[in-house]
Amino acid sequence: MTTMRRRRSVLSSTADAGITRYLQLYSILSQSLADGEFKTARALPSEPDLVARYRVSRTTVRRALQLLEQEGRILRRRGSGTYAKGSRVHSSHAFDVQSLYGDAPAVAEGAEILNRAAVEVPASLQAAHPELGANAFGVQRSHSENGETIQLGVTYVPEGVAKRHGLKRGGSGGLEKLAREVRGVEQVTTAVAADAVSSKQLKVAIGAPLLRIRAALLDTNGELLAVDESLLRPDRAHIRDDFRRSAGKASARWQLKSA
């Protein structure tokens, strides 16, 4: 089964998942372009072929292709077909536990601090981590590779922790000190739809799927130091970790390989 056929089954199974069909098709074609599946000298599947392959309307296909054209990803030639624009295959930046949490998330290499201020804590975060309260100190940031933004993030720090580390006074010293206290990470990765802000910053369509990583950063006693949330373009970034278990011990637990 080809990659395109596998992606067709994903579209069919998520038809009622709350994401408009043309955005689903846009995401599939966008990923195929990022993976270099479409050669510049060969036309992409025709509109009728895409209609039949993904069981969508002609309007859905045209809206998906229009988004890709607006992004400069494809070239549409009347009477000839649709072609990938340029032969460049975008690299996908690998994030792992060390790169995400080895240092303070907001001062990692390649990151730009966008804002530092008191912020409201989303209800879902309050439910999962009551220690944050309704308001916390937030550090909002972006991460770029080769001039392209691939990650947006915000670190929510409980008011007491922020005060203890002097985060409200500015500078990165407090964040670095907080990072040195992190001894545990409880991480959950899900997919979410891009909103108006993230779509503009990450240059994707509103509603396009993004990877969302929410991680509780814990001290040596298991107390919450902060919750870090990141949004990543799935065609520009991926999560990679290396696990090992002892040779000859089939029942041994898998452990993250040390850097």
Domains of the chain in sequence order: 3-84 (1.10.10.10), 93-238 (3.40.1410.10)
The dihedral through the CA atoms of 16, 22, 28, 30 has a sign that is negative
Helix, strand, coil % in the chain, rounded to nearest 5: 35, 30, 35
Query: Residues 6 or more apart from 217 whose CB is under 8 A from it?
Result: 101, 178, 182, 184, 185, 224, 225, 226, 227, 228
pLDDT digits (tens, 9 = 90+) for 205-243: 777 788 999 999 999 999 999 999 999 988 777 788 888
HEC per residue, 118-186 = EEECCHHHHHHCHHHCCEEEEEEEEEEECCEEEEEEEEEECHHHHHHCCHHHCCCHHHHHHHHHCCEEE
Bridge partners of 214, per DSSP, are 188, 229
Query: Residues 6 or more apart from 55 whose CB is under 8 A from it?
Result: 11, 12
Q: Residue 126 pLDDT more than 50?
A: yes
Q: What is the pLDDT confidence band of residue 105, given thresholds at 50, 70 and 90?
A: low
Cα separation of 187 and 92, whole Å?
Answer: 21
Give the predicted TM-score (pTM) of the model.
0.69
